[in-house]
Structure 1
């Protein structure tokens, strides 16, 4: 007998708004091909918290992170 452990597939794609993209500074985050959040570079006064993360499903939320990887991790952690 065996069991199959299904893991969520996380991906990201450049965000396109009104036909424009901000390159590597704006990403839509997908879980199993469904958009669940967004991470993007900001120009806030604290340069150590450059990346904003937003969760758009379930209990929504947002905040700032020190790197894109930390922002992506926060979205994954909150979405589950």
Structure 2
């Protein structure tokens, strides 16, 4: 099973809610907080592997899971 970690990106968000996501020590994505259009919390996520993916989630945990799903190799059909 892959080892997943995250590290705060310093200086980019005064609340400290900006994270690089690592799989086995390699940076594979980013998750950060942004106030949504309707005022609700909104978490942006992006993967940096091919094919890249991105989206928004309601919680940090959901955003981290989306990065994991985007980065984890799929079994061939």
**Same fold by TM-score, threshold 0.5 exceeded?**
yes
Q: Which runs of 4+ in 1 moved over 3 A?
A: 46-49
| CA RMSD, 1 decimal | 1.5
TM-score of the two chains, using structure 2 as the length reference? 0.82
Q: Return the index of the structure with the highest Cα Rg.
A: 1
In the comparison of the two structures, how many residue pairs are matched? 71
Higher helix share: 1
Cα deviation, residue 44, structure 1 = 2.7
Structure 2: tracts of 5 or more residues without a match: 73-77
Cα deviation, residue 21, structure 1 = 4.2
Give CA-to-partner distance per residue, 1:52-71, whole Å, 9 cap, x none.
00111121011000100000
TM-score of the two chains, using structure 1 as the length reference? 0.79
